[in-house]
Structures are given as C-alpha cells and as structure tokens.
Amino acid sequence: MSNKPPRIWLSNANPKAGEIVRMRALILHRMESGFRKDQDGNLIARNIVNEFEVRLDGDLLFTWNPETAIGQNPYIEFTFTARKSGELQLKWVDDEGAVTTGSSTLTLAS
C-alpha cells in the first residue's frame, strides 16, 4: 500500500441525531489481480485490498470485502444514520497483511 494517508470525506461532520451522513474514502493501492505477467512472463502475485471496515468508537458500522474485479486506488462511498458522536476509524487490509488506517470525527449537533 501507499505511504500516503487515505482521503476521507464526510457530507456533514456535525449532523443532527438521525440525519443521514454520506462518507467517501479513497486509498492508493495497486490492486494486483494475480492475472498480470511481468516482463519475464511470470505472474505477478495477487495483492488486493480484501477487507475494509469502519467503526464508530469501536462499534462496527460498515464492512466490505472487495474482490479482484475492483480497480486500483479503491474508492468507496456509503451512508449511515448519525446516532452518536465519536471517532470514525477506517481500516483497509490487503493480501500481504499491510494495514492502512484513517479516522475522522463525527460530532452530533445539539
């Protein structure tokens, strides 16, 4: 994976309770399918992001298990209902065990 931090965007970091929030996230990752060959004709080992999860203060909010059909630099967008304030922790894991993390704060409006 890349040394660059993931890009994370929230439609509203200060929503009212019950409001729908849209989250977008992007990481830099080559996503090798295992089907390409190098210059010598050898298969390049598969290395894709195979796990993505989002937690809000440790509680699982969203999970996704990508497949080989996902292109490089995976981008994901999803919505959730704001129920409490807290830290959103994002985690991507690839086939080599490399882990990329990122976080964002969600604060309910009073």
pLDDT digits 0-9 by tens, 88-107:
999 999 999 999 999 999 99
Provide the pLDDT confidence category of residue 83 given band limits of 50, 70 and 90. very high
Confidence of residue 6 (pLDDT cuts 50, 70, 90): very high
Q: Which residue has the tokens 């690839």?
A: 94
Check if CATH label 3.40.50.300 holds for domain 7-106: no
Please state, for a pLDDT cut of 70, what percent of the chain lies above it.
Answer: 100
Which sequence spans correspond to the domains of the chain?
7-106
Nearest to 63 by CA among 47, 51, 75, 81: 51
| pLDDT band per the 50, 70, 90 thresholds, residue 67 | confident
Instruction: Estimate to the nearest angstrom the gap between the alpha carbon of 87 and the chain centroid.
Output: 15
At 23 the pLDDT is 97
3-state secondary structure the chain: CCCCCCEEEECCCCCCCCCEEEEEEECCCCCECCCCECCCCCECCCECEEEEEEEECCEEEEEECCCCCCCCCCEEEEEEECCCCEEEEEEEEECCCCEEEEEEEECCCC
Pairing of strands 75-81, 20-26: antiparallel
- For range 28-34, the mean pLDDT: 92
